[in-house]
Amino acid sequence: MDEQFYRMKRLPPYVIAEVNAMRHAARLAGRDIIDLGMGNPDQPPPQHVIDKLCEVAAKPDAHGYSQSKGIPGLRRAQANYYARRFGVELDPESEVVVTMGSKEGLGSLATAITAPGDVVLAPNPSYPIHTFGFIIAGATIRSVPTTPDEEYWRSLESAMNFTVPRPSVLVVSYPSNPTAETVDLAFYERLVAWARENKVWVLSDLAYSELYYDGNPTPSIMQVKGAKDVAIEFTSMSKTYSMAGWRMGFAVGNKQLIAALTRVKSYLDYGAFTPIQAAACAALNGPQDIVETNRRLYRKRRDVMVEAFGRAGWDIPSPAASMFAWAPLPPALKDMGSLEFSKQLLTEAQVAVAPGVGYGEKGEGFVRIAMVENEQRLRQAARNIKRYLSSLGVNSSAA
pLDDT at 334 over 70: yes
pTM of the model: 0.93
Average pLDDT over residues 33-44: 90
Q: What is the pLDDT of residue 3?
A: 62
Average pLDDT over residues 378-389: 97
**pLDDT band at residue 395 using 50, 70 and 90 as cut-offs:** low
pLDDT by residue (tens digit) across 48-66?
Answer: 999 999 999 999 999 998 9
Average pLDDT over residues 227-234: 98
**pLDDT band at residue 7 using 50, 70 and 90 as cut-offs:** confident
Q: What is the pLDDT of residue 47?
A: 96
Average pLDDT over residues 121-148: 94
pLDDT by residue (tens digit) across 91-101?
Answer: 999 999 999 98
- Whether residue 328 has a cis bond before it, omega within 30° of 0: no
Average pLDDT over residues 290-312: 96
Could you tell me the strand order of the sheet in which 354-355 lies? 324-328, 366-370, 354-355
Average pLDDT over residues 345-370: 95
> CB of 23 within 8 A of CB of 37?
yes
Q: What is the pLDDT of residue 215?
A: 87
Backbone angles phi, psi at 185, to 5 degrees: -65, -30
Q: What is the pLDDT of residue 5?
A: 82
pLDDT by residue (tens digit) across 178-218?
Answer: 999 999 999 999 999 999 999 999 999 999 999 999 888 99
> CB of 327 within 8 A of CB of 366?
yes
**pLDDT band at residue 1 using 50, 70 and 90 as cut-offs:** low
pLDDT at 397 over 60: no
Percentage of residues of the chain with pLDDT beyond 90 = 85
Tell me what the pLDDT averaged over the chain comes to. Answer: 93
Which is higher by pLDDT, 14 or 7?
7
pLDDT at 2 over 70: no
Q: What is the pLDDT of residue 399?
A: 36
pLDDT at 398 over 50: no
Backbone angles phi, psi at 141, to 5 degrees: -100, 130
